[in-house]
Amino acid sequence: MKTLYPMDMEEFLLAMGETDLVTRIRECFQTDTPLPSALHDAAMQLYRKYLIVGGMPECVLQFAETGDYILVRHFVFSILQHIEQKFSKNHENVCCQTV
């Protein structure tokens, strides 16, 4: 079994092709200086997108390729439905075993 964690904001930015922004954020953090206003606004706009899209790698990939929130929502529901089916199947197997 492999454990997969959701993408964090930095990984989301990298997936969106924002390597320069990530570099600038790191520099400002390390030097304890504020991010320029224009970059801060861009980062906040991307943060809002991250909050909507979430950190599921497949959803982030679809959003990075299409920018389509509806398609991302479809993938989220598909993933959740698949997980629900897996758990209900495993639950039935556990409940039906005789001890």
Q: What are the pLDDT digits (tens) for 2-17?
A: 787 899 999 999 999 9
Task: Show the tokens assigned to 13.
Answer: 């930015």
Q: Which of 44, 49, 60 is nearest to 5 (CA)?
A: 60
> Where is 79: in which H helix or E strand?
helix 69-96
The ranges assigned to domains in the chain are 9-96
Residue at 24: amino acid letter: R
pLDDT tens per residue across span 6-59: 999 999 999 999 999 999 999 999 999 999 999 999 999 999 999 999 898 888
d(CA 16, CA 27): 19
